[in-house]
């Protein structure tokens, strides 16, 4: 996978609320399928399916222990995804803030010109 | 309301993304800042560190525009270009949009609509992508509400990871 495909896989994986909740749970520590299934009121096969999507996206890794196969959160793809999100939003937020400042400057200029125009006319 | 808090990004239909933002200025002035190079290069810069060394705007239907941003510290450049389809001062601009190194496939159609009320101007920017897939790729960049929510959540997750 290249960077863009990896990002696609990350976002597709994050689009589901259950998978986001699983990540939030794993942020507090590694957990087995059984431990993850409990709070979600879901079958183990359903949880396993979500874990496969998360694993393919590189968001988690699974332990070798054949019985428990504990899931572990992988921080790097999450960090890549969030920095990308932040970039896009920040681009527009900062640009519009710059525009606010520019508009204030133009309004001040316009007022000065109007005042100068009035002074000329009254002379 | 503080204009800074009026920034909104949402999806619409199958292929659109809609951004709105309010400005404390009449729309004639906002229109000028969107269409005159000497103004555009002063505000359409994103985060600190970026400049716009190339900003060319041929403001007529069929006329082209071209923006090139540069980040001197990172040594990177990014270019964007397109053609004007409609120009109705001071209320409406429609142009195509394509990145030099496309981060989404194909061309998008961008429509700006300016509405003035009591000296304030609401700018609505609608970006129409060439397919649902393209739009959704862009939505995944954090503009969709669900992802925006998960973004807040991710912040928490990342903070927790960092604290370990």
Q: What is the CATH number of the domain that holds B145?
A: 3.30.530.20
d(CA A112, CA A116): 6
- What pTM did the predictor assign? 0.63
Look at residue B135 in the predicted model and tell me its pLDDT: 73
B-interface mutation test, from A4, A9, A16, A102, most B Cβ less than 10 A away:
A102
Residues of chain B short of pLDDT 70, as ranges, are 1-5, 101-105, 136-164
Structural domain harbouring B48: 3-163
**Weakest-pLDDT range from A34-48, A67-81, B39-53:** A67-81
pLDDT at B10 (0 to 100): 73
Nearest CA in chain B to A8: B137
What pLDDT does A123 receive? 66
Q: What is the pLDDT of residues A88-103, one digit of tens each?
A: 667 788 889 999 999 9
> How confident is the model over A8-25, as pLDDT tens digits?
788 788 878 788 888 878
In the prediction, which pLDDT does B142 show? 43
Task: For domain A3-76, give the CATH number.
Answer: 1.10.10.10
Residue numbers in A near B2 (CB within 8 A): none
């Amino acid at each position: 996978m290249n960077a863009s495909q990896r990002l696609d896989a990350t976002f597709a994986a994050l689009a589901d609320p259950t998978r986001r909740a699983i990540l939030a749970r794993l942020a507090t520590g590694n957990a087995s399928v059984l431990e993850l299934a409990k709070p979600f009121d879901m079958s183990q096969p359903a949880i396993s399916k979500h874990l496969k999507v998360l694993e393919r996206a590189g968001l988690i890794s699974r332990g070798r222990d054949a019985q428990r196969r504990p899931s572990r959160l992988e921080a790097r793809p999450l960090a890549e995804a969030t920095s990308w999100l932040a970039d896009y939003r920040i681009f527009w937020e900062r640009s519009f803030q710059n525009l606010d400042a520019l508009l204030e400057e133009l309004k001040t200029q316009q007022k000065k010109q109007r005042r100068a125009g009035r002074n000329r006319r009254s002379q | 309301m503080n204009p800074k808090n009026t920034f909104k990004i949402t999806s619409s239909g199958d292929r659109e993304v809609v951004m709105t933002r309010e400005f404390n200025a009449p729309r004639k002035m906002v229109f000028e800042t969107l269409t005159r190079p000497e103004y555009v290069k002063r505000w359409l810069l994103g985060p600190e560190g970026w400049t716009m060394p190339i900003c060319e705007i041929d403001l007529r239907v069929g006329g082209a525009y071209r923006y090139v941003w540069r980040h001197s510290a990172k040594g990177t450049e990014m270019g964007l270009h397109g053609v004007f389809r409609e120009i109705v001062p001071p209320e409406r601009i429609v142009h195509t949009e394509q990145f030099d190194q496309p981060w989404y496939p194909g061309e998008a159609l961008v429509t700006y609509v300016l509405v003035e009320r009591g000296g304030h101007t609401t700018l609505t920017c609608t970006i129409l992508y060439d397919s649902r897939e393209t739009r959704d790729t862009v939505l995944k960049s954090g503009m969709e509400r669900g992802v925006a929510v998960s973004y807040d959540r991710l912040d928490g997750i990342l903070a927790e990871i960092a604290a370990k």
